[in-house]
Amino acid sequence: MLRIRRSEDRGLADFGWLKSFHSFSFGSYFDPQHMGWGNLRVINEDRIQPGTGFGTHGHSDMEIISYVLSGNLGHTDSMGNVKGIPPGDVQRMSAGRGVTHSELNHAKGEVTHFLQIWIQPNVKGIAPSYEQTTFPDAEKRGILRLVASPDADQGSVKIHADARLYAGLFDGAEGASVALKPGRLSYVHLIRGALTVNGAALRGGDAAMIADETEVHVSAGQDAEVLVFDLAA
């Protein structure tokens, strides 16, 4: 089973300083048909205007991943981390039993564009923690590069969740697959460009929700950047 979620069908919040497309119900956007997919709870595509951002706020018992596309995301948290997150970096914050943080646009005169991803953890009440790793474009070209996993496999950031996240760049004849074990779900989010996923055509901002399949296969890319999730049901 493959069901496409088109870009224009997502929720939208526009506060002037922030423009955010919501793949799943979030904030004032509520759609009972889109509350998450498996243990994936949030994908927000955020654009933050220069000199603005999310002030200090709290989270608990959630695995939070930031995937920066352009600009620079400034991160400060109650664990003492003060970081800048540029394009190509994947940041993971395990909120655990509680953490506060802020996210500000540190790119002078430039909009910071990033994906905010929340995955439900498989363990609660742990000590909060932080990790940030660079994945150069060369490592994602024509392949699905593992960037987050429960076991930090292949140098991926470690998440406390039953999920694996892959990122890839595809153009022309390039293609790749991820095998799915029985009972697993997949969510494919096309960041930009065009791509075929298990025979279905996607364009930037579209997603594919996949169940009861043995693999996810991506091909026929046109300047495509994609995220592929392997998820618990």
The DSSP-derived string for 43-112 is EEEEEE-TT-EEEEEEE-S-EEEEEEEES-EEEEETTS-EEEE-TTEEEEEE-TT-EEEEEEE-STTS-E
CATH superfamily of 137-231: Jelly Rolls (2.60.120.10)
What is the spatial distance between Cα 147 and Cα 176, in angstroms, rounded to a whole number?
15
Residue 108 pLDDT grade (very low, low, confident, very high; cuts 50, 70, 90): confident
How confident is the model over 135-156, as pLDDT tens digits? 999 999 999 999 999 999 999 9
Q: Where are the domains of the chain?
A: 10-134, 137-231
User: What pLDDT is recorded for position 168?
Assistant: 98
User: What backbone phi and psi angles, to 5 degrees, belong to 137?
Assistant: -55, -35
pLDDT average, residue stretch 158-162: 98
Whether the predicted pLDDT of 84 surpasses 90: yes
Element spanning 46, H or E: strand 40-48
Whether the predicted pLDDT of 106 surpasses 90: no
CATH 3.40.50.960 fits 10-134, yes or no: no
Calculate what percentage of the chain has a pLDDT beyond 70: 100
* Residue in the structure block whose two tokens are 């003060």: 82
CB 105 within 8 A of CB 68: no
Its pTM stands at 0.96
User: What backbone phi and psi angles, to 5 degrees, belong to 24?
Assistant: -130, 165
